[in-house]
Amino acid sequence: MSQTFLRRGLRREFLIPFARIGILLCMAAMFGRVSRAQDKNPFAGNTDAAKVGESQFRANCAFCHGLGARGGGRGPDLTRAKKRHGNADADLFRTINEGVPGTAMPPNGATQQGVGMTDEEIWQVITYIRSVQKKTDAQAAGNAAHGRELFYGPAACANCHMVQGKGGRLGPDLTTTGSARSLDYLVESVRNPSKRLAQGISEAMKEFSQEYVTVTVVDGGGQKYQGTVLNEDNFTLQMMDTREQLHLFDKSKLQSVEETRQSLMPAYDPKMLPEKDLQDLLAFLLATGSAPEVGK
Amino acid sequence: MRAPNGDRFVGLKNPREIFLRLGAWGAAVLRPYKRREMKVPLALLCWCFLVAGSLRAQVTPQRLLDSASEPQNWLMYSGDYAGHRYSTLDQITTANASGLVPKWAYQTMAGGKFETTPLVVDGVLYGTGQDDRAYALDARSGRPIWQYQRALPADIRPCCGRVNRGLAILGDKVFLGTLDAHVIALDAKTGNVVWDVTAVDYRGGYSFTLAPLAIKNLVIVGISGGEYGIRGFIDAYDAASGERKWRFYTTPAPGEPGNDSWEGDSWKIGGAPAWITGTYDPATNTTFWTTGNPSPSNRGAGRAGDNLYSNTLLALDPDTGKLKWHFQFTKHDEHDYDATEVPVMIDQGSEKHLIVQANRNGFFYIIDRATGKLISSNAYAKVTWSTSKDAEGRPALDKNGSPTLEGNRVCPGAAGATNWMSPTYDPQTKLFYVTAREQCDIFSTAPQAFEKGHAYYGSAYFPNDDAEPFWGALRAIDPLTGALKWEWKHPSPTWSGVLSTAGGLVFTGDAEGNFMALEATSGKVLWHFQCGASVYSSPMSFAVDGKQYVAIAAGSALFTFALP
Q: How confident is the model at residue A181 (pLDDT cuts 50, 70, 90)?
A: confident
Q: According to the model, what pLDDT value does residue B35 have?
A: 47
Q: Does B351 touch chain A (CB under 8 A)?
A: no
**pLDDT at res. A271:** 96
A206 lies in a domain?
A: no
Say what the pLDDT of residue B13 is.
44
Residue A205 in contact with partner chain B when CB distance is under 8 A = yes
Question: Which residues, in sequence order, are CB contacts of B7 under 8 Å at separation 6+?
Answer: B14, B17, B546
For B465, the closest of A72, A109, A203 (CB atoms) is: A72
Distance CA B60, CA B96 (A): 35
**In the predicted model, is pLDDT for residue B257 greater than 60?**
yes
Answer whether residue A254 shows pLDDT above 60: yes
Nearest CA of chain B to the CA of A106: how many Å?
A: 12
**Chain B residue whose CA is closest to A232:** B512
Cross-chain Cβ contact A110/B446 below 8 Å: no
Residue B488 has pLDDT above 90, yes or no: yes
One-character DSSP codes across A197-247: PPB----TT-SS--B--EEEEE-TTS-EEEEEEEEE-SSEEEEEETTS-EE
Separation of first and last alpha carbons in chain B: 20
pLDDT above 90 for B460: no
Residues A182 and A228 in one domain: no
- Using the predicted structure, report yes or no on whether residue B395 has a pLDDT greater than 70: yes
Confidence of residue B499 (pLDDT cuts 50, 70, 90): very high
In terms of domains, do A151 and A18 share one? no
Q: Has residue B426 got a pLDDT over 60?
A: yes
Rounded CA separation B466/B22 (Å): 70
Residue B4 has what pLDDT?
37
Question: In chain B, which residues have their Cβ closer than 8 Å to the Cβ of A56?
Answer: 455
Q: Do A116 and B157 touch (CB under 8 A)?
A: yes
**Cβ–Cβ of A234/B406 closer than 8 Å?**
no
Same-domain pairing of A183 and A283: yes
ipTM score of complex: 0.86
Hey, is the C-beta of B521 within 8 angstroms of any chain A C-beta? no
Q: Measured between alpha carbons, how far is residue A39 from residues A1, A126, B7, B198 in Å?
A: 13, 12, 67, 37
Whether A19 shows a pLDDT value over 50: the answer reads no
Q: Which of A72-86, B221-235, B238-252 has the lowest mean pLDDT?
A: A72-86
Task: Residue B464: name the closest of A106, A67, A111 by CA.
Answer: A67
Closest CB from B109, B157, B493 relative to A115: B157
Query: What average pLDDT does range B51-78 have in this prediction?
Result: 85
pLDDT at res. A102: 79
For A118, the closest chain B residue by CA position comes to B155
Q: How many residues does chain B have?
A: 564
- Alpha carbon separation from B282 to B61, B199, B318 (Å, rounded): 11, 26, 10
Mean pLDDT of A120-142: 87
In this predicted model, what pLDDT tens digit does every residue of B93-149 receive, in sequence order?
A: 999 999 999 999 999 999 889 999 999 999 999 999 999 999 999 999 999 999 999
- Nearest Cα residue in chain A from B462: A63
Mean pLDDT of chain B: 91
Query: What is residue A273's DSSP assignment?
Result: S
Question: Residue B116 in contact with residue B162, Cβ under 8 Å?
Answer: no
State the DSSP string of B463-494: E-TTSSPPEEEEEEE-TTT--EEEEEEESS--
Side chain identity, residue B539: P
Residues A188 and A272 both lie in one domain? yes
The chain B residue lying nearest A74, using CA atoms, is: B465
Share of chain A above pLDDT 90, in %: 52
Same-domain status, A186 and A79: no
Q: Give the number of other Cβ atoms within 10 Å of residue B201's Cβ.
A: 12
Does position B457 have pLDDT exceeding 80, yes or no? yes
A67 touching B (Cβ < 8 Å): yes
pLDDT at B443: 94
**φ, ψ for residue B184 (rounded to 5)?**
-125, 150
> Which residues of B form the catalytic set?
336
- Give the pLDDT score at B144: 98
Q: Quick check: A12 contacting B, CB < 8 Å? A: yes
Whats the size of chain A, residue-wise? 296
Specify the DSSP class assigned to residue B109.
-
pLDDT of residue A143: 94
- pLDDT at residue B379 greater than cutoff 70: yes
| pLDDT at position A232 over 70 | yes
Q: Are both A191 and A97 inside the same structural domain?
A: no
Taking an 8 Å cut-off on Cβ atoms, the answer to whether A59 and B149 are in contact is no
Mean pLDDT across the stretch A158-162? Answer: 97
Nearest C-alpha neighbor of A255 from the set A216, A215, A217: A217
Distance between CA atoms of residues B449 and B299, nearest Å: 12
Q: What is the C-alpha separation between B405 and A267, in angstroms, rounded?
A: 33
Q: What amino acid is encoded at B211 in this protein?
A: A
Count CB neighbours of B387 within 10 A: 13
**Is the CB of residue B463 less than 8 Å away from at least one CB of chain A?**
yes
Instruction: Indicate the range of A126-140, A234-248, B67-81, B482-496 predicted with least confidence.
Output: A126-140
Average pLDDT taken over every residue of chain A: 83
Average pLDDT rounded to a whole number, residues B215-243 = 97
Nearest to A234 among B491, B493, B536 (CB): B491
Residues A22 and A127 grouped into a single domain: no
* pLDDT value at A113 more than 70: no
> Among B443, B449, B445, B422, which residue's Cα sits nearest to residue B508?
B422
Is the predicted pLDDT of residue A24 greater than 50, yes or no? no
Determine whether the interchain pair A232/B491 forms a contact, defined as Cβ–Cβ distance below 8 Å. yes
Nearest to A58 among B157, B457, B493 (CB): B457
The topology under which CATH files domain B61-149+159-562 is: Methanol Dehydrogenase; Chain A (2.140.10)
* B514–chain A nearest CA distance, Å: 8
Give the pLDDT band of residue B296 (cuts 50, 70, 90).
very high
DSSP secondary-structure letter at B195? E
Residue A202 in any domain: the answer is no
pLDDT for the residue numbered B26? 47
Domain that holds residue A251: 214-260
Q: Is the pLDDT of residue B550 over 90?
A: yes
Q: What is the per-residue pLDDT for A112?
A: 54
SS3 B23: helix
Q: Please write the tens of the pLDDT for every residue from A191-215.
A: 999 998 998 888 878 888 899 999 9
- State whether A19 and A98 are in the same domain: no
pLDDT at B521 over 90: yes
Express as a percent the part of chain A with pLDDT over 70: 81
| Banded pLDDT at A34 (limits 50, 70, 90) | very low
What is the average pLDDT across B62-67?
A: 98
Cβ contact B333:B293 at 8 Å: yes
**Cβ neighbours of A112 in B, within 8 Å:** 160-161
In a domain, A242, yes or no: yes
Chain A contact set for B466 (CB, 8 A): 195-196
Mutation target for B interface from A207, A214, A229, A251: give the one with most B CBs within 10 A. Answer: A207
The answer to whether B534 contacts A235, with C-beta atoms less than 8 Å apart, is no
What is residue A184's predicted lDDT score, i.e. its pLDDT? 86
> Do residue A127 and residue A66 come from a single domain?
yes
CB burial of B59-92 (b: ≥16 within 10 Å; e: otherwise) equals bebebbbebeebbbbbbbbbbbbbbbbbbbbbbb
pLDDT reported for residue A131: 94
Provide the 10 A C-beta neighbour count for residue A42: 14
Residue A7 lies in a domain: yes
Q: What is the dihedral of CA A196, A199, A203, A206, to 10 degrees?
A: 20
Same domain, A252 and A220: yes
pLDDT at A37: 41
Q: Note the pTM of the prediction, 2 decimals.
A: 0.88
The answer on A47 and A129 residing in a single domain is yes
Q: What's the pLDDT at A252?
A: 96
Q: Which amino acid does the sequence have at A92?
A: L
**Minimum mean pLDDT range among B62-76, B128-142, B394-408:** B394-408
Q: Which residue of A has its CA nearest to B109?
A: A14
Residues A24 and A113 grouped into a single domain: no
Closest by alpha carbon to B324, among B365, B364, B281? B281
Contact A55 B112 (CB under 8 A): no
Average pLDDT over residues A44-56: 91
pLDDT, position A110: 66
Residue B108, SS3? coil
pLDDT for residue B7 is more than 70: no
Supply the pLDDT for residue B12. 40
**pLDDT for residue A263 is more than 90:** yes
Domain range list for chain B: 7-57, 61-149+159-562
Is A201 among the domain residues?
no
B34 has pLDDT over 80: no
Q: Which of A38-52, A90-104, B481-495 has the highest mean pLDDT?
A: B481-495
A73, A115, A196 member nearest B455 (Cβ): A115
Is the pLDDT at A155 greater than 60, yes or no? Answer: yes
Residue B292 confidence (pLDDT) above 80: yes
**CB interface of B with A, residues 385-414, below 8 Å:** 406-407
Which helix (H) or strand (E) segment is B51 a member of?
A: helix B39-57
Binned at pLDDT 50, 70 and 90, residue A114 comes out as low
> Given an 8 Å threshold on Cβ–Cβ distance, is B469 in contact with A5?
no
Tens-place pLDDT, residues A59-109:
888 888 888 898 866 788 899 888 888 889 999 999 999 888 878 888 887
Percent of chain B at pLDDT > 90 equals 83
Considering the domain boundaries, does residue A208 fall inside one?
Answer: no
Nearest Cα neighbor of B41 from B49, A126, A223 is: B49
**Chain A interface includes B512 (CB < 8 A):** yes
**A137, pLDDT greater than 50:** yes
Task: Flag whether A189 is in a domain.
Answer: yes
